């Protein structure tokens, strides 16, 4: 069986967990704390980034993008009647749009919101770091302003299209939903101000592939009641 080295609040790991479930690929989970930089993990992936997919045959695919593209290639190499789901479907132009949006959510959104939010609100508590300072209120205000901007972009895409990249569910939806699921776990999404984004996210979290994420719980951080509510 394939093994995914991940961390429950890592949005990149979450996107691959969704993708593997959509593809109906069995996999086991092994947790790796991203702040520990263990030599044993760095020997597997010298960049220290999560997730890492360890294949049944002994191969290793490190990094979210590499894993997503690898799985897409596996899908395209299988007979048409055995294909479950193509995460980068359609024409060359359509696939480019999926990649553009995936890059937006996993780089720009992560850099401007997720990374800093985890550092301010989550990792000090998860590490049980008694010396940690309380969250910087000015930084939190900036992070929340950035989040509102990205929610407005998701709302725009969801209003113009059936799914974020077009008519079909793609890896772009998974990348965005994985990021939002982290914010939602930390109770940082003002869903009442973004009804279009909320409705799109509700469709995502109602999919069977999303259910394991909604069951995640971390010591010291309890998500809001609506986190696991499929209808908010």
pLDDT by residue (tens digit) across 98-130? 999 999 999 999 999 999 999 999 998 888 765
CATH of residue 76's domain is 3.40.30.10
Residues 166-190: what's their mean pLDDT?
97
The pLDDT confidence band at residue 131, using thresholds 50, 70 and 90, is low
Handedness of CA 186, 188, 191, 196 (dihedral sign): negative
Structure tokens at 25: 């690929």
pLDDT at 130: 56
pLDDT at 194: 95
Residues 74-97: what's their mean pLDDT?
88
pLDDT at 232: 80
Pair (211, 155) in one structural domain:
yes
Diameter of the chain by CA atoms?
A: 57
Pair (17, 130) in one structural domain:
no
Could you tell me if 3 and 28 are in contact, meaning their C-beta atoms sit under 8 angstroms apart?
yes
Q: Which long-range contacts (CB under 8 A, 24 or more apart) does 24-27 make?
A: 24/84, 25/71, 26/1, 26/2, 27/1, 27/2, 27/3, 27/53
Structure tokens at 11: 């949005």
Pair (211, 135) in one structural domain:
yes
Beta bridge partners of 27: 2
pLDDT at 214: 97
Q: Evaluate whether residue 184 is within a structural domain.
A: yes
Residues 80-91: what's their mean pLDDT?
84
Residue for token digits 């049944």?
56
Pair (100, 205) in one structural domain:
yes
Could you tell me if 14 and 173 are in contact, meaning their C-beta atoms sit under 8 angstroms apart?
no
Mean pLDDT of the chain, nearest integer: 94
Distance, in Å, from the CA atom of 115 to the CA atom of 147, rounded to the nearest integer, reads 12
Per the structure, the complete domain to which residue 115 belongs is given by 92-228
Q: Evaluate whether residue 77 is within a structural domain.
A: yes
Angle at 221 between CA 216 and CA 225, to 5 degrees: 70
Per DSSP, the three-state class of 60 is: strand
Pair (8, 49) in one structural domain:
yes
Q: Evaluate whether residue 87 is within a structural domain.
A: no
Residues 81-86: what's their mean pLDDT?
77
| Strand (E) or helix (H) holding 5 | strand 2-6
């Amino acid at each position: 069986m394939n093994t995914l080295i991940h961390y429950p609040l890592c949005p990149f790991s979450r996107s691959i967990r969704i993708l593997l479930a959509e593809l109906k690929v069995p996999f086991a989970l092994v947790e790796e704390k991203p702040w520990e930089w263990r030599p044993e993990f760095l020997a597997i992936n010298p960049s220290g980034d999560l997730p890492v997919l360890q294949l049944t045959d002994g191969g290793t695919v490190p990094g979210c993008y590499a894993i997503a593209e690898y799985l897409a290639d596996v899908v395209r190499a299988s007979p048409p009647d055995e294909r479950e789901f193509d995460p980068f479907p359609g024409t060359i132009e359509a696939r480019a749009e999926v990649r553009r949006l995936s890059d937006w959510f996993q780089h720009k959104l992560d850099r401007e919101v997720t990374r800093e939010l985890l550092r301010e609100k989550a990792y000090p508590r998860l590490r049980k770091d008694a010396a940690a300072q309380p969250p910087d209120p000015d930084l939190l205000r900036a992070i929340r302003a950035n989040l509102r901007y990205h929610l407005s972009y998701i709302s725009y895409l969801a209003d113009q299209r059936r799914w974020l990249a077009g008519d079909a569910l793609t890896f772009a939806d998974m990348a965005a939903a994985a990021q939002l699921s982290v914010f939602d776990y930390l109770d940082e999404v003002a869903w009442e101000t973004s009804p279009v984004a909320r409705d799109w996210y509700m469709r995502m979290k109602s999919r069977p592939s999303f259910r394991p994420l909604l069951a995640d719980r971390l010591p010291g951080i309890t998500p809001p009641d609506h986190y696991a509510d499929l209808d908010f």
